Structure 1
Amino acid sequence: MKSTLLAGALLAFATATSAHAQAIKLADVAELSGGGATVGTNWKNGIDLAIEEINAKGGVLGRKLEVTHADSQSNPGVARAQVQKALDAEPYVLLGPGYSGSVKVTAPLAAEAGIAQIMGGEAAELTQAGNKFLFRTSFGQQSSMPKVAKYIHDDMKAKTVAVVWVNNDFGRGGRDVVVKELDRLGSKVVADLSTEAGQVDFAADVGKIKAANPDAVFVYVNEEESARILKELKRQGVTAPLMGETTLIGQKVIELAGDAANGARGHVGLTTDAPVDLIKAFRDKFAKKYNYVPDHNGLKGYLAVYMVKATTEKMGKVDSKAFADALHGLTIKAADEPGILMDVTFSDTGDIDRQSFLVEVVEGKQVVKQVLPKVK
């Protein structure tokens, strides 16, 4: 009897150990503290929500997903160290970081390890260096900024534009593309203002904008700084229409800026206010779990995990070395994988093509004004 019980216990232990060993392990490195804490926390929560959903339905190819989270502290040097540590554990896929500067210094590490990296960075240069292991969850600046410039020129009818940007990889990349496009279209940049990450006082910058008297203002700084500059623009009575990208009209910006955000417009690849049923359902699930409305970073983290699921199921196997090749050129339809939320195609460079939106903040909410179709 004792031997039977012992054999049963050993079998149960072996089964549990085997099941644990079969878990598909993901590693996430994100901005959980520092200036990018809003970005990283939303990203992390989106990841956790997706993993919870997928595991509740049996996992991926019958295997559960597991993730480890590490804090980059919004610092590229720390991000690099955390990514190296994560790669040493040989994850199936690396998730993050969100900041372009941190992606820039970590991408070579993942590529050298042959591990696919699904990240939140939007700087144009990230996917233009020939790295075959790097993938976006949102539009790169080379895709989004021409749309922004066109809207400023064609819809806002702006002949003169003030450009305000944050002096980091993210800000410089967006600034360079939009200024080039504005010039090509015939809109003159009359103020070109560099600001710093974490900057608190924008009085002098807004004073320069007011003195330039532009037809429109393009604002491209991080979320917390966007809220501060919106407040200062209102305080100094700048009435020129405001245009930006996701970081100007995100949920956190609206909460921090209050009524100063009203009227701001932006092009967004992702918004929880999109007129898409699957995105509305995501927003409700996220808000129920975390007690706040997510921004686009929550969507990015959620989508990153479903990219892993859809690609792995397409391959029919868990093979980290084959993952990147399988994702290149892949089209994932929401009808086949609802967690991807909208039909999306991945290019050979790791960039994406899908619907995007032009939105305006009206009475503290993002209102979608236009739905822009996939390019192809």
Structure 2
Amino acid sequence: MRRDVRFRATGSLSYTIFLSLLVILSACCFGSYPVRAEVIRLGEINPLTGSFALHGLEIHQGITYAVEEVNARGGVQGRRVELLSRDDQSRPDVALNQTQDLLYREKVVGLLGGYVDSLVSPISSLAARCSVPYVAAASLQKSLTAKPNPFFFRVSCISGVIQPLCRFLGEELKPKRVAILYMATPGSTEFAQGVKESLGKYGIQTVVCEKFRPGAPDFSVFLLKVKQQKAEVVISGGFFQDNLLLVRQLGEQQTSIQAFIAPWGVAYEKFIREMGRSGEGLMGMCAWNPGITQPGTEKVSQDFVRGFSQRFGQMPNTTTMHGYTAARALLAAVEQAVLKPEGLNGAAISRALRNLDLLLPMERLRFDNQGDPLDYNQVIVQVQKGQLQVVYPTGRATAGSIRYK
């Protein structure tokens, strides 16, 4: 009998020790989970390498700064925001794989980033299937918001580029003949088609409309057509490097035109610096730049420029601000959603985004039912004496326009 009692006592003690070890082991293996639950995880996919890396890195910096800004103030309702960044290598297939990793493995509650619609499109489709809101920083293609998608939002839209550009040409410069060069990407193609159609309503003829592939090494044939067709204005839908090459070849061929306008690539300090005196009179477009901000946001804009410059050791630009604006939108929506009874989930964040109304340096940010911004409008800027001056619209102009050559 005693042996049986001793066995039961020993067995009981062993079981107690086993349970204690199990508790300790669980704490070691899973102790981080309760802490992790308090962290709000956001994902970001951008082209940090590859052909679009220059602007992808700028968007990344804007997003990073917005998240760090929120965390410096104590986070979202006391919860730290963790930003998980992924590089899509400027490739749609990689963008899709990175999105899958963030959604399925990392369990992020929202997505940010994206440069050019060939990279944005696969992200938006997968995010919608997973009911996770995605706020794109640089997206233009109309088809992405043509179909109902309650989880896709963007801080830019093609109409905010085409409309001010065509009004400026139709009401201010009034050329008779223009030439359009555009890149073989969905957004740039849509831009060229929209500009051609809109200018036609002003009686302006598009005498050359030519497509090129990213990284094209030579534009001399296009410029020969510009000269032969006597185009007065050249409109470029290319990016930074494309416009550097195009403008240099324009000078080499001594092609006389009234104006050169490129919505993307010209309104950058680096572009102006690299062009030097040859950049005088070039026109670009931007939604924001240091010194060019929405009325009423001057101080906020100055604070952003100062803080960003201290953090990254360089001045922000319009692309940086697109990333910052997208992040500010998602963070504001997360802050509203986290207070809701149902807790933090994709549907709650999406509803908060739909009802958002923020006055930011780049725009008053409100979304329509398709997820497009209601108040996104770029301004026309021109390089004058090495500085960017707003020349249109008139109400925001800091100088009158001058002839390019």
**Correspondence 1:42 to 2:58:** yes
Is the 1:59–1:65 contact (alpha carbons within 8 Å) kept by the matching residues of 2?
yes
- CA deviation vs aligned residue, 1:222-276 (integer Å, no higher than 9, x gap): 2211121122112222332012313333334334433333212233223333143
Q: In 2, distance between residues paired with 1:370 and 1:191?
A: 25
Please name the residue that 2:372 is paired with: 351
SS at 1:219's partner residue?
Answer: strand
Q: Note the C-alpha offset of 1:16.
A: 6.9
Letter of the aligned partner of 2:58 in structure 1? N
Q: In 1, distance between residues paired with 2:379 and 2:164?
A: 10
SS at 1:238's partner residue?
Answer: coil
Q: In 2, distance between residues paired with 1:14 and 1:111?
A: 31
Q: Note the C-alpha offset of 1:96.
A: 2.0
**Correspondence 1:309 to 2:331:** yes
Please name the residue that 1:322 is paired with: 348
For 1:209-248, list aligned pairs within 5 A: 209-240=226-257, 241-248=259-266
Letter of the aligned partner of 1:333 in structure 2? L
- CA deviation vs aligned residue, 1:87-142 (integer Å, no higher than 9, x gap): 1122111112112111122211111011111112222332223222111122x113
- Aligned pair partner of 2:159 in 129, 134, 142: 142
**Correspondence 1:87 to 2:103:** yes
From the CA coordinates, give the structure whose radius of gyration is larger: 2
Q: Percent sequence identity over matched residues?
A: 23
Q: In 2, distance between residues paired with 1:312 and 1:108?
A: 21
Letter of the aligned partner of 1:279 in structure 2? S
- CA deviation vs aligned residue, 1:148-191 (integer Å, no higher than 9, x gap): 11211211111111111111112111111111111122100011
- CA deviation vs aligned residue, 1:61-98 (integer Å, no higher than 9, x gap): 21111111111111112111211222112211111211
CA separation of 1:124 and 1:297: change in aligned 2, threshold 3 A = same
Please name the residue that 1:5 is paired with: none
Letter of the aligned partner of 1:308 in structure 2? L
Of 215-224 and 272-281, the range deviating more from structure 2: 272-281
- The TM-score, its normalising length taken from structure 1, stands at 0.88
CA separation of 1:373 and 1:173: change in aligned 2, threshold 3 A = farther
- Aligned pair partner of 2:192 in 175, 196, 221: 175
Q: In 1, distance between residues paired with 2:34 and 2:122?
A: 36
SS at 1:326's partner residue?
Answer: helix
Q: Note the C-alpha offset of 1:306.
A: 1.1
Q: Note the C-alpha offset of 1:312.
A: 2.4
5+ residue gaps, structure 2: 1-25, 397-405
Q: Note the C-alpha offset of 1:323.
A: 1.2
Q: In 2, distance between residues paired with 1:372 and 1:329?
A: 31
Is the 2:289–2:316 contact (alpha carbons within 8 Å) kept by the matching residues of 1?
no
Letter of the aligned partner of 2:143 in structure 1? E
Of 223-232 and 15-24, the range deviating more from structure 2: 15-24
Q: In 2, distance between residues paired with 1:308 and 1:96?
A: 11
5+ residue gaps, structure 1: 1-9, 335-339
SS at 2:51's partner residue?
Answer: helix
CA separation of 1:341 and 1:161: change in aligned 2, threshold 3 A = closer
Q: In 2, distance between residues paired with 1:372 and 1:22?
A: 49
Q: In 2, distance between residues paired with 1:251 and 1:28?
A: 26
Please name the residue that 2:180 is paired with: 163
Please name the residue that 1:7 is paired with: none
Is the 2:162–2:191 contact (alpha carbons within 8 Å) kept by the matching residues of 1?
yes
CA separation of 1:373 and 1:324: change in aligned 2, threshold 3 A = farther
- Aligned pair partner of 1:60 in 62, 76, 81: 76
- CA deviation vs aligned residue, 1:189-208 (integer Å, no higher than 9, x gap): 01111111011222222222
- Please tell me the root mean square deviation across aligned C-alpha atoms, in Å: 2.6
**Correspondence 1:33 to 2:49:** yes
Q: In 2, distance between residues paired with 1:155 and 1:292?
A: 35
How many residues were matched structurally?
Answer: 360
- Aligned pair partner of 2:320 in 286, 298, 317: 298
Q: In 1, distance between residues paired with 2:203 and 2:223?
A: 24
Letter of the aligned partner of 1:112 in structure 2? R
Is the 1:147–1:267 contact (alpha carbons within 8 Å) kept by the matching residues of 2?
no
Q: In 1, distance between residues paired with 2:44 and 2:336?
A: 23
SS at 2:266's partner residue?
Answer: helix
Q: Note the C-alpha offset of 1:58.
A: 0.5
Q: In 2, distance between residues paired with 1:213 and 1:292?
A: 41
Letter of the aligned partner of 1:71 in structure 2? D
CA separation of 1:158 and 1:329: change in aligned 2, threshold 3 A = farther
- Aligned pair partner of 2:94 in 61, 66, 78: 78
